[in-house]
Amino acid sequence: MGTLPAEALDPAAAEARSRRLRDAGLTVCFTNGCFDLIHPGHVYSLRSARLLGDALFVGLNSDESVRRLKGPGRPVLDLSSRAAVLGSLRCVDFVVAFDEDTPIELIRLIRPDILVKGADYDESGIVGAELVRSFGGRVVTVPLLEGFSTTSMLDRMGKKT
C-alpha cells in the first residue's frame, strides 16, 4: 500500500529557500489558501500566480486553521493529502503549512516579491499586502475561473459546509 509524500516545507526551510532564490535574482511569488478540494478554479489561480515569477510558494492552512475558518465539517481532505495534491502541480514549487488564521508570519519569513490572491479579494483586504509593499514587493490579484468554489461543490454534493 502506498503512502502520500510529505510535500510541505516547514517555515524555516521555506525562509531559507526563498532567500536563496532572491539572492540568485529570481522572483518569488506567494499565495495561500485552504485548498480543501482542488478544482479547476484553484489550478487556474495557481498557474496564473506562477506565471508572475520564477518560483511559487503556497501557504496552506493546517487542518485546525481550516476548521476555525470554515467550520467543523472541514477540511474534507487532511493537511498531508492537500499538500500532496498541491505539491504535485507543476506550477507549485513549494508548499508551506501554517496553523494561524492568516499567513502573515509566513509572508514575513518568505518575503515574496509578489503576493498573489484571487480577484475576489479587494487589495486593501489582502493580508500581508502592506508588508510586501514595505519591502519593495507588489500585490497582484488574478482573475477567477467562474463557476468553481469548494463550498459550491460541497453544496452540490449535499454536504453541509
pLDDT for res 39: 84
Among the listed residues 83, 88, 42, 91, the one whose alpha carbon sits nearest the alpha carbon of residue 59: 83
pLDDT for res 148: 55
Cβ pair 115, 140 in contact under 8 A: yes
Cβ pair 112, 38 in contact under 8 A: no
Residue 139 C-alpha cell reads as 500585490
Cβ pair 29, 55 in contact under 8 A: yes
Among the listed residues 141, 107, 103, 137, the one whose alpha carbon sits nearest the alpha carbon of residue 122: 141
pLDDT in tens, 45-69: 999 999 999 999 999 999 999 999 9
Cβ pair 95, 58 in contact under 8 A: yes
Contacts of 53 (CB under 8 A, 6+ apart): 26, 27, 28, 29, 113, 114
- List of the chain residues with pLDDT < 50: 1-7, 161
pLDDT for res 158: 66
Domains of the chain, first to last: 8-156 (3.40.50.620)
| pTM higher than 0.85 | yes
Alpha carbons 117 and 105: distance in angstroms, whole number: 17
